[in-house]
C-alpha cells in the first residue's frame, strides 16, 4: 500500500487511545504488525510539550506517526491543530477530522473540504476522515488530498459497514485512489468485508483497545486484513440467485 509516496507492507493502521496501559498499547502495536499509529493532539501539548513520554513510546516502536485533529469542530480549529501537530511531530502527515454532529461524530463535510484545501496548500499530506459521499470525495481530491478515509459506521460503534452499496460505489468511482475504512469496525470479520470490497486498508482503534485481550485482537485483525485482501485479489465468484451443482452431470451413472 502506497500512501503519499510511502510504501507500507501492512494495510492495518492502528489508533493509540483508550488502552488499559502504555505497555498494552505497545504490545498490541507489535502484534498488529502495523507501520502507522495515529495519535491525537491536545492544545496544551503545543505550548508545554506535555505527553512527551507517550510520544516517545510511539516513536520507540519504530512506526510512522499519523497525528489527527480529533475533537475539532470547525475548519479553523482543525487547521490550527494540524499546524501544531506538524511542529511537534515533524511530519506533513495529518489525519483530518472535523466533527459536525456530537451524537454520531459524523464529519462536517463542508468544513472538512475547506480545511483540507488550506492544509494541502500549506504542504500537508492530508488523510481526511469523511463519509461515503461521492461528491464530497471528489471535492476532497480536488482540494489536493491523495488518500480518502470514509467511515464504515460511527466512531466507536463497532457496527461494521453500514452502507456497503455506498462504499462499493466509492471504490468503483475512484479505482486509483487509496481508500481506507476509518471508524465503525468492531470485529475482524468487518475488516475482512472491507478488504473484500477492494479497500486498501483499515484504520481502527476501539475494537482493539477495548477488547478483552487487546494484543490477541490486534493479531486477529492483522490476519483478517491479510485474508480479506488475498480474497479480493483472487477475484471471488459472483453470487447467484439459484443453485449450481459443483459436481458435473457428464459421466454420471444412470440407473435403468
Q: What is the pLDDT of residue 147?
A: 98
Q: What is the pLDDT of residue 52?
A: 64
Grid cell 485481550 is found at 213
- Structural domains present in the chain: 2-234 (3.20.20.70)
Q: What is the pLDDT of residue 48?
A: 47
Q: What is the pTM of this model?
A: 0.89
pLDDT in tens, 188-247: 999 999 999 999 999 999 999 999 999 999 999 999 999 999 999 999 988 888 888 777
Q: What is the pLDDT of residue 244?
A: 81
Q: What is the pLDDT of residue 51?
A: 58
206 annotated ligand-binding residue: yes
Whether 95 sits among the annotated catalytic residues: the reply is yes
Under 8 Å between Cβ of 1 and 8: yes
Per annotation, catalytic residue among 86, 95, 139, 229: 95
pLDDT in tens, 13-22: 999 999 999 9
228 annotated ligand-binding residue: no
Mean pLDDT of 130-146: 97
212 annotated ligand-binding residue: no
Amino acid at each position: 500500500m502506497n500512501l503519499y509516496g510511502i510504501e507500507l507492507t501492512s494495510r492495518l493502521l492502528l489508533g493509540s487511545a483508550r488502552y488499559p496501559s502504555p505497555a498494552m498499547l505497545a504490545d498490541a502495536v507489535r502484534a498488529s504488525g502495523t507501520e502507522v499509529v495515529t495519535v491525537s493532539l491536545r492544545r496544551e501539548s503545543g505550548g508545554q510539550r506535555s505527553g512527551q513520554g507517550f510520544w516517545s513510546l510511539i516513536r520507540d516502536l519504530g512506526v510512522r506517526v499519523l497525528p489527527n485533529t480529533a475533537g475539532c469542530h470547525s475548519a479553523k480549529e482543525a487547521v490550527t491543530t494540524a499546524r501544531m501537530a506538524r511542529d511537534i511531530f515533524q511530519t506533513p502527515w495529518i489525519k483530518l477530522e472535523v466533527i459536525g454532529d456530537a451524537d454520531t461524530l459524523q464529519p462536517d463535510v463542508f468544513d472538512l473540504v475547506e480545511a483540507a484545501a488550506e492544509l494541502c496548500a500549506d504542504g500537508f499530506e492530508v488523510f481526511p476522515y469523511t463519509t461515503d459521499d461521492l461528491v464530497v470525495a471528489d471535492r476532497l481530491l480536488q482540494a489536493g488530498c491523495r488518500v480518502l478515509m470514509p467511515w464504515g459506521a460511527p466512531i466507536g460503534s463497532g457496527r461494521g459497514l453500514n452502507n456497503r452499496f455506498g462504499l462499493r460505489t466509492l471504490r468503483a468511482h475512484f479505482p486509483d485512489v487509496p481508500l481506507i475504512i476509518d471508524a465503525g469496525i468492531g470485529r475482524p470479520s468487518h475488516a475482512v468485508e472491507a478488504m473484500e470490497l477492494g479497500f486498501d486498508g483499515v484504520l481502527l482503534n476501539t475494537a482493539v483497545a477495548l477488547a478483552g485481550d487487546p494484543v490477541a485482537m490486534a493479531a486477529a485483525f492483522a490476519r483478517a486484513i491479510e485474508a480479506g485482501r488475498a480474497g479480493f485479489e483472487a477475484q471471488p465468484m459472483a453470487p447467484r440467485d439459484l443453485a449450481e451443482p459443483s459436481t458435473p452431470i457428464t459421466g454420471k451413472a444412470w440407473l435403468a
